[in-house]
Structure 1
Amino acid sequence: MNRYIILLTCIIIFACGKSSNPSGEYPTDEIPTPKEEVITFKLESLEGVGYFNAVLKFTVTAGNKNIRSRGVVYSTKESPTKEDELVLAASTTGSGSFEVQLDRLSEGKTYYVRPFAEKTNGIFFYGDQQKFETVSYPEPTVYLDSLTFLNQQTFETYWKMFYPWGTDHNGSARMYEGQVSLDGAGMLKIKADRTEVWEGYSTADPWLRIFYHSGAIHAKQQILVNDERPYWVVSGDFKVPTMVGSWPAFWITGAWTWPPEIDIMEFKGNNTNWQNTVTGPDWQNTSWQTTKTVVENAGSWHNYKLIMYKTSATHVAAELYIDGQKKATHTGDFVGKPFWLIINMQMEGASGGHASGPQSAEMQARNIYLAAYDVIP
């Protein structure tokens, strides 16, 4: 019996030690995978590089099979990967060419870019690194900044009291120097106080009776869009009253004639901000472009901004913003026409009240900014 067991064991050992593939072929799980064809790229063009964008065109020169996606990866650091910024091709062709548009860049930065292609099996191939630099903003000439309200000395260096033409305008307030004050930390206040003392009538249309002492200031630097200064930025932060009878404003008006005028911030007795652009050959023939925006909590800080730039030999575009959001683009034939910049608190008139306005009202201003560029960014 033991002799038969030994013989059977030997047969089993012999069978296990012998190849199960006498033909010499590999078992299925041992067949070597063919080497993946490498994808190579060629940069065809790098164009449209601006402040925030660029357009790159590549061609896949080898390995243009079984590609699931293609595009670029980019970073401000060298050797970017898909873990950095990744943008898919905006368009492709059957020849393997593709175009990528980058539009979330920062101005004045160096970017490193590598084309990529992903095979249907998930393998990524990267091409050679490319490098480019976005356009830097030109340096502006800054005429006013947050320091001009820091103290009396800086204020008097850059600003003058009242309107450029005097103390009266189109409401029932007459401007007095004592109604304007600085808080010592870069903020200006203008307060309007009601008075029953007879002071006559305003010397400006519509010649209302004077019921208020208030304040107005204007910048010494005029604004002039021309070939030497084709692009201007005017901006400021304000807290304003919105009760009936209060009429705060931040605006520019013609230094030679009226019109022109652009109202950057103007509240007329409620929480609707008026942004107006006035054009026309003279004061009797005017055309108004008006954009109205309800500003919640106008008594809290909000930013109001104008960007004005030359679009032709005679005309400008006036982009108007509130808290960084563009509200309108107006146009006007303002090239070569100087402007005054004014901050004031007028009362009644277009804001209502009519001899029954509030006892007092106050507006606050800070971070006034005025700058010009010698090129259009």
Structure 2
Amino acid sequence: MLEGLGLRPQQEQAYLHLLDNPRLSAAGLVARRPEWTSAQAEAVLRSLVPLGLAVPNDQTGDTYAAIAPDVALAALVRARVDAARSAERAVPELMALFWQGRPEPESLHFIDVVTDEHSITERWYQLQRAAQREVRGFDCPPYFADPTDPDPIELQRLAEGVSYRVIYADEVLEQPGRWRDLEAGIAAGEQARVAHRLPVKLTLFDDFAATLPVKGQMDGAGERSRAVIVVHRSPLLDALSALFEVYWDQAAPLPGEPDGGATSTSTGLYADDARLVRLLAAGFGNETIGRALGVSSSTVQRRVHELMERLGAKTRFQAGLILGRLGSVSKGTPAGSEPAAGVSAADDRLAGRTRRAAH
């Protein structure tokens, strides 16, 4: 119950006994915890005093009384928070010492290989918490956890002002329910783009580390082991960062959720139609859109044609450009209007993806 405050199990047990026993001696504690010796009980009770959890209850100090939890525990919480903040402020200095002790980049010591699945998860969360400015990633299989589960660390870091830029492969929507996860991330502030294919699953943490999951050898049970390569500061990390930026420039933006209620007042579109437009603008084909919306591809095709007629659009791209151009579904271009002149380079990429999806 109180281990998060740094208490040992015996200290927590002794404090709980003190709460309902205003005058408790070592002998009284042993009577309640017969597995303890008198010396152990006395040492544990005495250790609660500097922690602010107990005070000696008489002149001889033989008995102890608990300090009220609202006072004692609040003080411990503040102390733990202050200690954590102090440790966080020391990270830059500690990282400098870390890199001073590392060999020069011409060796292979800037690469770590993590194979234990629990360690993989822990390292992932540690690196996200250590990022101060930005997390970038290629999102594609393989997945070590259910990809439809929101990443609590990402949502927390987004709220703390850390930027997230993620490029998703088309195939991510083949995972049932994945589109809802994408929408949740975008709504929280994630910048999302879509690429037809990605060369590798990759996550970059500021400019100090990157992770690359790999498939290991087959074991005796016929299952393939998992591993993650952690790349530290090196020319390889610089190359991975440059690779991400090249793909980011070429990927199509994935527009966010439209603002407002079930219907857009400026366009008359229902939420499902707006979601259809956003997927269409991102360049997805009928089958992928159908998986995201939970309908058949023929239903998607019918709704696309109906939408084109309502908008006066001659092509799928025009429909997407009118209402979903680079995430502007919520802004609402009047139905029947023609696409704006002077299509940007990003629009050109979007047009190319949408035309490919139409075939």
Per the TM superposition, whether the score is higher than 0.5 is no
Tell me the TM-score normalized by structure 1.
0.23
Higher strand share: 1
Higher helix share: 2
Tell me the TM-score normalized by structure 2.
0.24
Larger relative contact order (C-alpha < 8 A, sep ≥ 6)?
1
